[in-house]
């Protein structure tokens, strides 16, 4: 499979890298929630909670917000004004989608030292074809490229943005349970997947964790597990209750992290976040995780769940991001959609 990456593409991608999330953003892409099937039986509180996140984000950077139609945009503007958003920092765009998780289907940008910026359009198949139609989501990178005039390159591999995290210096975090799952790229070996990541994202050091958190329908996205917080530091979630389903897989991931090295062969600094107590809705375990934070210009937006562990998680992240404002958002309703803040955002690097 690696031979199928044409030499011309390898030359085209030379010098490009995926910036770390903490590097400056020009804007953040988001998609207004509109699909009640994503939050079955609990959609009503979602738009207001979403509006609170957009309102706070708009104080730090431009938010490019996608809507299914003009009526949805008008309703959202009312909620955003009520939430105190800086409306002048919110761009209202009509681009119909199937769902709101733009982290996974939006464009992933790579940049070059000379200032060049390129959008990558990876294939999207609804997390292994778990849900209904996904054609509108899969088309979003191309639609945005047409609207904003940036170059967009199609990549012949299924990849969701929530399945990878980078330090911007050559290292990438991901999970075996997701990227090596046959429901994404059947027939591709681990070495072949790694080669696509190296060529298109400009990374040389690929760090593999095992399984994801309980309740995660993405087969184990890294953005619920472990995140780079600077070039040398990873923060990962741990479960302290030995009886919990997350205890063993998260302990294994922690052991792997402590044995890992960065792109220069040096040990990584590993910090930990608690998992909230097990949360359920209608008998389903929810993938509630403090690792699903979003690093914005000057701020870190963190999901909270009304638990005693919220305070500890926020304090840890405030220590790890001393130059950013760390802000918690109640996400117990949002997480019934099986994702929170990071899943709902996608950065557009400056």
pLDDT band at 4 (very low <50, low <70, confident <90, very high): confident
Per-residue confidence (pLDDT) for residue 305, from 0 to 100: 98
Structure confidence by residue, pLDDT tens digits, 97-139: 999 999 999 999 999 999 999 999 999 999 999 999 999 999 9
Contact (CB, 8 A) for 305 and 335:
yes
Which stretches within 116-233 are classed as H helix? 126-129, 135-138, 140-148, 176-179, 190-201
- 284-285 vs 280-281, strand pairing mode: antiparallel
Structure confidence by residue, pLDDT tens digits, 242-252: 999 999 999 99
Instruction: For each of the domains in the chain, give its residue range(s) and CATH number, in order of start.
Output: 2-349 (3.75.10.10)
| φ, ψ dihedrals at 295, nearest 5° | -95, 110
Structure confidence by residue, pLDDT tens digits, 30-77: 999 999 999 999 999 999 999 999 999 999 999 999 999 999 999 999
Residue 152 bears catalytic tag: no
Contact (CB, 8 A) for 304 and 319:
no
Is 60 exceeded by the pLDDT of residue 231? yes
pLDDT band at 209 (very low <50, low <70, confident <90, very high): very high
Chain centre to alpha carbon of residue 327? 17
∠ CA 299-300-301, nearest 5°, is 115
At a CB cut-off of 8 Å and minimum separation 6, what does 119 contact? 107, 108, 109, 141, 144, 145, 150, 151, 152, 153
Per-residue confidence (pLDDT) for residue 159, from 0 to 100: 98
| φ, ψ dihedrals at 129, nearest 5° | 55, 45
Could you tell me what percent of the chain has a pLDDT over 90?
99
pLDDT band at 1 (very low <50, low <70, confident <90, very high): very low
Could you tell me what percent of the chain has a pLDDT over 70?
99
Is 90 exceeded by the pLDDT of residue 216? yes
Dist. CA 20–CA 175, nearest whole Å: 18
Which of the residues 152, 178, 331, 343 is marked catalytic? 343
Is 60 exceeded by the pLDDT of residue 198? yes
Structure confidence by residue, pLDDT tens digits, 272-282: 999 999 999 99
Structure confidence by residue, pLDDT tens digits, 22-39: 999 999 999 999 999 999
Per-residue confidence (pLDDT) for residue 3, from 0 to 100: 52
Per-residue confidence (pLDDT) for residue 6, from 0 to 100: 94
Contact (CB, 8 A) for 50 and 84:
no
Structure confidence by residue, pLDDT tens digits, 287-335: 999 999 999 999 999 999 999 999 999 999 999 999 999 999 999 999 9
């Amino acid at each position: 499979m690696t031979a199928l990456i044409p030499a011309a593409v390898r030359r085209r991608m030379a010098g490009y890298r995926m910036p770390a999330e903490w590097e400056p953003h020009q804007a953040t892409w988001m998609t207004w929630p509109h699909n009640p099937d994503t939050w079955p039986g609990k959609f009503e509180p979602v738009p207001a909670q979403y509006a609170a996140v957009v309102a706070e984000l708009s104080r730090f950077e431009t938010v490019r917000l996608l809507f299914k139609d003009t009526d949805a945009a008008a309703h959202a503007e009312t909620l955003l004004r009520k939430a105190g958003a800086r409306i002048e920092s919110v761009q209202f765009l009509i681009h119909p989608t199937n769902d709101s998780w733009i982290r996974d289907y939006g464009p992933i940008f790579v940049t070059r030292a000379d200032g060049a910026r390129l959008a990558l359009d990876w294939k999207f198949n609804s997390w292994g074809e778990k849900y209904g139609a996904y054609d509108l989501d899969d088309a979003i990178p191309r639609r945005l490229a047409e609207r904003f005039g940036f170059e967009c390159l199609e990549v012949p591999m299924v990849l969701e943005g929530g399945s990878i995290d980078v330090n911007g210096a050559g290292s990438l975090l991901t999970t075996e349970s997701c990227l090596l799952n046959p429901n994404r790229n059947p027939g591709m070996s681990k070495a072949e997947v790694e080669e696509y990541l190296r060529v298109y994202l400009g990374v040389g050091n690929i760090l593999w964790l095992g399984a994801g958190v309980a309740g995660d329908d993405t087969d184990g996205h890294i953005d619920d597990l472990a995140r780079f917080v600077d070039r040398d530091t990873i923060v990962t979630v741990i479960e302290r209750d030995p009886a919990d389903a997350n205890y063993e897989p998260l302990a294994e991931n922690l052991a792997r992290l402590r044995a890992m090295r960065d792109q220069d062969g040096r040990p990584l600094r590993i910090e930990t976040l608690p998992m909230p107590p097990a949360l359920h809705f209608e008998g389903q375990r929810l993938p509630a995780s403090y690792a699903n934070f979003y690093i914005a210009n000057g701020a870190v937006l963190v999901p909270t769940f009304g638990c005693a562990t919220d305070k500890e998680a926020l304090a840890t992240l405030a220590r790890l991001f001393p130059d950013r404002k760390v802000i918690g958002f109640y996400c117990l309703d949002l997480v019934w959609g099986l994702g929170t803040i990071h899943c709902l955002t996608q950065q557009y690097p400056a």
